[in-house]
Structure 1
Amino acid sequence: MKFLKKLFWFIVILLVFVAAAGYIIYDHYNVEKKELTYDLRKNSNGSYIELSNGVTHYELDGPDTGKVVVLIHGFSVPYYIWNGTYEYLTEHGFRVLRYDQFGRGFSDRPNVTYNKQLYFEQLNELLDKLHLKKPVSLVGVSFGGEVATDFTAAYPDAVNKVVLIDPGYVAEKPKYPSFVLDFYEATHAEQRALGQMTDFKYPTRHPSWVDQYQPQMEYKGFRRALISTLYNYNYNAREANTALNDKHKQVLLIWGKEDNTVPFKYSDSVRSVLKTEFLPVDDAGHLPYIEQDQIVNPALVTFLKK
């Protein structure tokens, strides 16, 4: 009995030390130390609006009479991912909205479940509060393509045309409990930031990309938002694309032929169930509208003006 009692306390003490060591490591590497405040936001670019689930950071420009186009960013890079395309579309007469989805950029990180309904409510409420005339056209890249696809299927009367740029396809849920993924993300923040460079075929041409990405990681709730999305945004590409096809919308599919994030081969899978115009882009990775802007941006204008 004495041996078992000693063994028990040894295990207890060992677990306490392991937990303490884990916390010290977690706290040391955790970059989320700041809160998003009014003073911080007033010195930033863009505008802010209070929605039901928190403040949303957005930018809206272009003539009031222009056709409304909404740019939806990907999984974790906020609305600056549309730099260039946003300006190009406004210069060509469109009324263009881009915004940070909850948990990203300078939008709030509400402590809620990041599921389809959250993303749908944010977009619907944003359109209503900004008094933007529906139907609008949606342009989504990567995860933003998933949101655009699902949103259009759920609210077809709100959407005119859809543009999918290298849209997400395989959306497998993590195999580990969320707290394990949280620990990993907290202790590998630099890896997530550097990992954004793999979206480019020519990453050296974008030397400031990581520096742009990192500031949002310092605000509490960023990591929780990404992890919650991974676990709770349920997406089945084939079902989603079939549902979109049933709404009979005009769809333009654009894909970088050398995409290593969502491989080009999935473009065939999308087109097997979704009727689209198709623009395969040579010499480009996951963000063809950046790497081959002289090809993609004019194609966007042509499609959206039809």
Structure 2
Amino acid sequence: MDTARPRRLRTFLIAALAAVAAILVAVPYARNRESLTLDDAARKQAPGQFVRLSHGMVHYRVAGPADGAPVVLVHGFSVPDYAFDATRSALAGAGFRAISFDLYGRGWSDRPDVRYDRDLFAGELGELMDALHLQKARLVGLSMGGAVVGHFAAAHPERVQRLVLVAPFNQPRDIGVMAWPGVGEWLARSWFLPDLASSQTEDFPHPEKLPGWSARFEPQMRYDGFGRAILSTIRNTTTQSSIPDFEAVGRAKIPVELVWGERDTTVPYAEHALVQQAIPQARFVSLTGLGHMTVVEDPDAVNPHLVSFLREN
């Protein structure tokens, strides 16, 4: 009986499996962009200022008169504070003291090895307000930032004068196998994170009008801890509903303006009805022809609504 052929086949299969395993291990390392450390030397490149909070250094920018009514701007899932460049400028021009900052894990803020959930981000917001001696402020939250300011306002209504929610994240998302330990890490490093910069244009119905938007996103991806923060946020923030927080905001009678682009598919436009139901006093602004990132896509269509609402007493 010829036993050489089965042995050769077994050897071939073992080698093939070993090669596949080696490739699977190598892919996330090969596609990993995090080659830099976010330290004091790196921070010298950043505009604005830094403050040390409980979980590390936080980057923020301030515009407008020192005695202006403070407005704190909270960005969304992954695009840091530059999402509010036009908003910050418009509010400063209207006499407000506009403050934008990078959530932990994004932009120039530290990437602590913690659980990235609403408590973390709302705590960061509260500590920043404390550091800047803001007992109360007007808050603006974009996308996931809407969930963050909603969580903060639900817990601390006495610190919120007025609230603007721009296409706020509100419904839990099914993240599938990204929730699986090990598997989620591999998928994030091999597939999700490498394409994250290029996917930013999906928020716009007409991305050709915003050349360079994806490239602007890339620098933050080079610093260690970015991917870990993003995956933890997917697992611990996007899987939770914001509606209970918004209902608490409704009960507290906080003045709210709700802004949504009618062509938003990232946080679908139809979800505005759920947020309005939770916050009956919300003033609704529907923007024709705009997508998810209205404050970037057409600031001139958004900012007058924000300024008018935030000026009211």
- C-alpha RMSD over aligned residues: 2.0
Task: Tell me which residue corresponds to 2:4.
Answer: none
AA paired with 1:29?
R
Task: Tell me which residue corresponds to 1:3.
Answer: none
The answer on 1:300 being equivalent to 2:306 is yes
2:185 to 173, 176, 182: 182
Normalised TM-score (structure 2): 0.90
Task: Tell me which residue corresponds to 2:47.
Answer: 45
- Quote how far apart the aligned CAs of 1:146 are: 0.6
Looking at structure 1, the residues matched to 13 and 123 of structure 2 have their Cα atoms a distance apart, in angstroms, of 48
SS of aligned partner of 2:252: coil
Task: Tell me which residue corresponds to 2:3.
Answer: none
2:296 to 287, 290, 304: 290
AA paired with 1:256?
G
- Quote how far apart the aligned CAs of 1:18 are: 4.0
AA paired with 2:64?
G
1:231-270 aligned within 5 A: 231-233=235-237, 235-270=240-275
Looking at structure 2, the residues matched to 157 and 12 of structure 1 have their Cα atoms a distance apart, in angstroms, of 65
Looking at structure 2, the residues matched to 43 and 272 of structure 1 have their Cα atoms a distance apart, in angstroms, of 44
Looking at structure 1, the residues matched to 163 and 17 of structure 2 have their Cα atoms a distance apart, in angstroms, of 53
Aligned pair in 2 of structure 1 residues 181, 105: CA closer, same or farther (>3 Å)? Answer: same
Counterpart contact for 1:67–1:94, Cα < 8 Å: yes
Looking at structure 2, the residues matched to 289 and 96 of structure 1 have their Cα atoms a distance apart, in angstroms, of 15
- Quote how far apart the aligned CAs of 1:49 are: 1.1
Runs of 4 or more above 3 Å deviation: 6-19
The answer on 1:138 being equivalent to 2:139 is yes
Looking at structure 2, the residues matched to 24 and 174 of structure 1 have their Cα atoms a distance apart, in angstroms, of 24
Looking at structure 1, the residues matched to 226 and 148 of structure 2 have their Cα atoms a distance apart, in angstroms, of 19
- Quote how far apart the aligned CAs of 1:136 are: 0.5
Looking at structure 1, the residues matched to 131 and 245 of structure 2 have their Cα atoms a distance apart, in angstroms, of 28
Consecutive unaligned residues of structure 1, counting only runs of 5 or more, are 1-5
Looking at structure 2, the residues matched to 123 and 90 of structure 1 have their Cα atoms a distance apart, in angstroms, of 20
2:204 to 200, 212, 228: 200
- Quote how far apart the aligned CAs of 1:16 are: 5.3
Counterpart contact for 2:259–2:287, Cα < 8 Å: yes
1:15-26 aligned within 5 A: 17-26=19-28
Counterpart contact for 1:145–1:166, Cα < 8 Å: yes
AA paired with 1:301?
V
Looking at structure 1, the residues matched to 284 and 214 of structure 2 have their Cα atoms a distance apart, in angstroms, of 31
Task: Tell me which residue corresponds to 2:148.
Answer: 147
Task: Tell me which residue corresponds to 2:56.
Answer: 54
Residue by residue over 1:129-173, the C-alpha shift from the partner in whole angstroms, topping out at 9 and shown as x without a partner, is: 1222x2111101100011111110011111111100011122224
Aligned pair in 2 of structure 1 residues 125, 9: CA closer, same or farther (>3 Å)? Answer: farther
Looking at structure 1, the residues matched to 181 and 128 of structure 2 have their Cα atoms a distance apart, in angstroms, of 30
Task: Tell me which residue corresponds to 2:67.
Answer: 65
- Quote how far apart the aligned CAs of 1:10 are: 9.5
Consecutive unaligned residues of structure 2, counting only runs of 5 or more, are 1-6
Looking at structure 2, the residues matched to 51 and 42 of structure 1 have their Cα atoms a distance apart, in angstroms, of 18
AA paired with 1:82?
F
Counterpart contact for 1:178–1:227, Cα < 8 Å: no
Counterpart contact for 2:260–2:269, Cα < 8 Å: yes
Aligned residues: 300
AA paired with 1:289?
V
